Amino acid sequence: MSLSRREFLQVLATASAAGFTLTGCDNSQPSSTAAGVKPKKTPNNPYELPPFGNVSLLHYTDCHAQLMPIYFREPQVNLGIGQMKGRPPHLVGHHFLKYYGIEPGTREAHAFTYLDFPELARKYGKVGGFAHLATLVKHIRAQRPGALLLDGGDTWQGSGTSLWTNAQDMVDAQIQLGIDVMTPHWEMTFGADRVQEIVNKDFAKAGIDFVAQNIVWNDENFDLEGERVFKPYTIREINGIPVAIVGQAFPYTPIANPRHLISAWSFGINDEAMQEVVDEARAKGAQVVVVLSHNGMDVDLKMASRVTGIDAIMGGHTHDAVPKPVLVDNAGGKTLVTNAGSNGKFLGVLDLDVKNGKVAGFKYSLLPVFSNLIEPDPAMQKLVEKIRAPYADKLGEELAVTDDTLYRRGNFNGTFDQVIVDALLEVMGAEIAFSPGFRWGVSVLPGEAITVDHVMTQTAITYPNVTLNAMTGENIKNILEDVADNLFNKDPYYQQGGDMVRVGGLKYAIDPNKDFGNRISDMTLNGKPIEAGKKYAVAGWASVQETPMGDSGKPIWDVVMEYLRNKKTIKVNDLNIPKLKGVEGNPGIEL
């Protein structure tokens, strides 16, 4: 091989297409037909991935407890600010298709973009579902002996059943699926004791490693202060090659979620500790070092430029479905960064060719899980049915019918969030409503019934109570500025992921490029300017405080369900999106 490692990696990166292309007219028969994957549906089976190399890692992330196949609309607004402008993952719609060379209207275009969402969703059907994911994992693993399955976290939270079973449903599903390694974020919202119970009992018994280099005891535990709570990494042998998987939990869990649930644990990005851990793993003989990350993609990209010795960062948190890895230069060489979408919609497959103790080449595919192309795995289907059976009647209750597509994902608002803020205004009698900019929650197609199941995918958290407070105009502005900076700070290390807080009643303008304190302007309520000193009745939910001010005692799902039952039919006439400034020509937005 005359190419240097660097050149060779570049060649392969260019040569390896997204992997999932149905637009070709290749008539060749699939090399093998594993049970369950239906090759007849398409002339070129998208799930036939010829094996490559000798080390394979399968990765899914941010499934948010979606055991069943669902619809999920990708964002129409995902702005990159500063250096992130126009770079993956901050491309939407047509910009995305053009960048990755994907034909509009295809299955692939539907998987990765919001374009023609309801029409293509009807055409191509639902995505994800653990029974379908299980079949795909088995199929891909059968061709790749020894492959590891990595779970990037945000698995235990996001559905009625995960909340009501205290995450046991997802733990059982993970074990059934055969995951090998996991790192957390929302898992923490079940509380430190429950996390440790699962890690020390269920996971220990199943041989699953729960890894996080960036969770340490804080000074609430003097004797252990500064020491890690979990294993920072695990070294597993794949085809005789020692492979280190380092965990990077969501660095801002105690800030974005209630700190009191994990009060003795401290998080953070901790680049220096990451470097030490990577060096230690190398010193112990790891020939491949992969970081299983819940940083969010912008943070992953920055970390890849600063820490050396990592072959790949396989990331999640920001729910970005990125078809090709980004190659990042650093002082030690290059690091691949992948991000694998959300809601069980995708399975990432990274094949590495390890020669003479080094990665000599790679192939990566991000496979959309189209439920109607894959037979459900019988054992997993049985488990999912068993999990849901006790709650089937409750989950299936039809609350209203929607005339519009309901979705959440997007920087500023989603139609389902509009329903939530409308419900808060009406049911709580508020003038202004706030709903957090979460990125999870499934989509509902026009004409479908909105069920309790749907509402729970948008609201199922362990701190669901609705609050009602009198807030000054100044307070409201400060909140908007604070959240905007968490989303649009030019330095990714100061971002928290998530989207802008959704607002009902209040109108405002935002310039994401401005600095802290200067992004928000033109705040009005019913056409009148918001006054800094005047108090307004503001409803919200998901307070991270241990004893929230103005706690109504009502969980958000009750408020939304009450509203839906009253309305019977939902039409989102006025999607409240702020007036945007300074984003002309940004390929992260199509409005």
List the alpha helices (DSSP H) in 57-202.
Answer: 93-100, 107-112, 117-124, 130-142, 160-164, 168-177, 192-197
Helix (H) or strand (E) holding 206: helix 204-206
List the alpha helices (DSSP H) in 469-541.
Answer: 473-488
**74 in contact with other proteins (CB under 8 A):** no
Q: Measured from the CB of residue 475, what is the shortest distance to other proteins in angstroms?
A: 10
**223 in contact with other proteins (CB under 8 A):** yes
- Binding segment for other proteins (CB under 8 A), chosen from 65-73, 161-169, 245-253, 557-565, is 245-253
User: In the sheet where 579-580 sits, what is the strand order?
Assistant: 528-529, 520-525, 506-510, 579-580
Whose CA is closest to 506, among 481, 485, 480?
480
Select 313 or 380, whichever has its Cβ closest to other proteins: 313
**418 in contact with other proteins (CB under 8 A):** no
Select 89 or 587, whichever has its Cβ closest to other proteins: 89
Name the residue type at position 311: D
For 280, the 3-state DSSP assignment is: helix
Select 247 or 497, whichever has its Cβ closest to other proteins: 497
Query: Number of residues in contact with other proteins, rule: CB under 8 A?
Result: 44
**257 in contact with other proteins (CB under 8 A):** yes
From 43, 146, 178, 268, residue interacting with other proteins (rule: CB under 8 A): 268
From 5, 38, 85, 259, residue interacting with other proteins (rule: CB under 8 A): 259
Residue 137 near residue 180 (C-beta atoms within 8 A): no
Helix (H) or strand (E) holding 504: strand 499-504
Select 115 or 299, whichever has its Cβ closest to other proteins: 299
**264 in contact with other proteins (CB under 8 A):** no
Residue 495 near residue 486 (C-beta atoms within 8 A): yes
- Binding segment for other proteins (CB under 8 A), chosen from 85-93, 100-108, 160-168, 264-272, is 264-272
Select 8 or 493, whichever has its Cβ closest to other proteins: 493
Select 45 or 489, whichever has its Cβ closest to other proteins: 489
From the number of C-beta atoms within 10 Å of its C-beta (0-12, 13-18, 19+), residue 574 rates as exposed
Cβ neighbours of 244 (radius 10 Å): 26
**494 in contact with other proteins (CB under 8 A):** yes
Q: Measured from the CB of residue 295, what is the shortest distance to other proteins in angstroms?
A: 12
- Binding segment for other proteins (CB under 8 A), chosen from 79-87, 359-367, 497-505, 521-529, is 497-505
- Binding segment for other proteins (CB under 8 A), chosen from 96-104, 373-381, 419-427, 485-493, is 485-493
Determine the Cα–Cα distance for residues 467 and 479; give it in Å rounded to an integer. Answer: 15
Whose CA is closest to 438, among 481, 487, 478?
487
- Binding segment for other proteins (CB under 8 A), chosen from 10-18, 131-139, 259-267, 382-390, is 259-267
Select 86 or 268, whichever has its Cβ closest to other proteins: 268
From 269, 290, 337, 432, residue interacting with other proteins (rule: CB under 8 A): 269
Tell which positions 503-522 bind other proteins, by CB under 8 A: 516
Tell which positions 5-34 bind other proteins, by CB under 8 A: none
**364 in contact with other proteins (CB under 8 A):** no
From the number of C-beta atoms within 10 Å of its C-beta (0-12, 13-18, 19+), residue 86 rates as middle
Tell which positions 538-567 bind other proteins, by CB under 8 A: 542-544
Select 36 or 436, whichever has its Cβ closest to other proteins: 436
Whose CA is closest to 439, among 64, 86, 35, 58?
64
Residue 367 near residue 133 (C-beta atoms within 8 A): no
Determine the Cα–Cα distance for residues 163 and 170; give it in Å rounded to an integer. Answer: 10
Q: What is the DSSP letter of 200?
A: I
List Cβ neighbours of 455 (8 Å cut-off, separation of 6 or more).
399, 557, 560, 561, 564
- Binding segment for other proteins (CB under 8 A), chosen from 14-22, 173-181, 218-226, 322-330, is 218-226
Q: What is the DSSP letter of 355?
A: E
Q: Measured from the CB of residue 316, what is the shortest distance to other proteins in angstroms?
A: 10
3-state secondary structure 525-542: ECCEECCCCCEEEEEEEC
Cβ neighbours of 365 (radius 10 Å): 22
Whose CA is closest to 356, among 287, 412, 301, 413?
287
Select 139 or 502, whichever has its Cβ closest to other proteins: 502
From 119, 482, 522, 546, residue interacting with other proteins (rule: CB under 8 A): 482
Q: Measured from the CB of residue 460, what is the shortest distance to other proteins in angstroms?
A: 13
Token couple for 582: 């300074």
Q: Measured from the CB of residue 363, what is the shortest distance to other proteins in angstroms?
A: 30
From 37, 352, 483, 589, residue interacting with other proteins (rule: CB under 8 A): 483
Select 23 or 545, whichever has its Cβ closest to other proteins: 545
Strand partners, 540: 467
**486 in contact with other proteins (CB under 8 A):** yes
Tell which positions 179-198 bind other proteins, by CB under 8 A: 185-186
Tell which positions 436-455 bind other proteins, by CB under 8 A: 436-440
From 45, 159, 496, 576, residue interacting with other proteins (rule: CB under 8 A): 496
Q: Measured from the CB of residue 136, what is the shortest distance to other proteins in angstroms?
A: 25
Strand partners, 78: none
Q: What is the DSSP letter of 501?
A: E
Tell which positions 131-170 bind other proteins, by CB under 8 A: 154
Select 59 or 185, whichever has its Cβ closest to other proteins: 185
Whole-angstrom CA distances from 155 to 247, 318, 378 are 15, 14, 21
Residue 61 near residue 151 (C-beta atoms within 8 A): yes
Determine the Cα–Cα distance for residues 428 and 506; give it in Å rounded to an integer. Answer: 16
Cβ neighbours of 583 (radius 10 Å): 18
**266 in contact with other proteins (CB under 8 A):** yes
Determine the Cα–Cα distance for residues 73 and 98; give it in Å rounded to an integer. Answer: 19
Select 188 or 570, whichever has its Cβ closest to other proteins: 188
Q: Measured from the CB of residue 181, what is the shortest distance to other proteins in angstroms?
A: 21
Catalog residues that contact other proteins under the rule CB under 8 A: 154, 185-186, 218-219, 223-225, 227, 250, 252-257, 259, 266-269, 317, 436-440, 478-479, 482-483, 485-486, 489, 493-494, 496-498, 501, 516, 542-544
